[in-house]
Amino acid sequence: MSIDKKKIKHVSKLARISLDEKKIDSLTSDLSAIFKFIEQLNEINTDKIEPLSSILNEPLRSRKDEINDGKIREKILENSPKKNEEFFIVPKVIE
């Protein structure tokens, strides 16, 4: 699988990262080398192997959905780059 500029542009759109032309060039060459390295995996036969998605032997636990904190709206908003007293503010979405 070769990586070209078109693919990098597409993936950067999916990842919501804007890239200038220079960056697209350097990432195309970096990722081409990395994918060449990754594709060593094609040497190995995995037809009858089950994928490993968790190394834990037991299934994940569920817990009760209980509120045990809260009332820290101001503190949470303090970390926001743009806010008013009650809300996070983002660029206008609806005209």
**Residues in the site for other proteins, rule: CB under 8 A?**
1, 7-8, 11-12, 14-19, 23, 27, 30-31, 33-35, 37-41, 43-44, 46, 49-56, 60-61, 63, 72, 75-76, 78-82, 88, 90-93
**In terms of Cα–Cα distance, which of 1, 6, 8 is closest to 27?**
8
- Is residue 8 exposed (0-12), middle (13-18) or buried (19+ Cβ within 10 Å)? buried
User: Shortest approach of other proteins to residue 55 CB, angstroms?
Assistant: 3
* Measured distance between the N- and C-terminal CA atoms of the chain, rounded to whole angstroms: 43
User: Shortest approach of other proteins to residue 71 CB, angstroms?
Assistant: 11
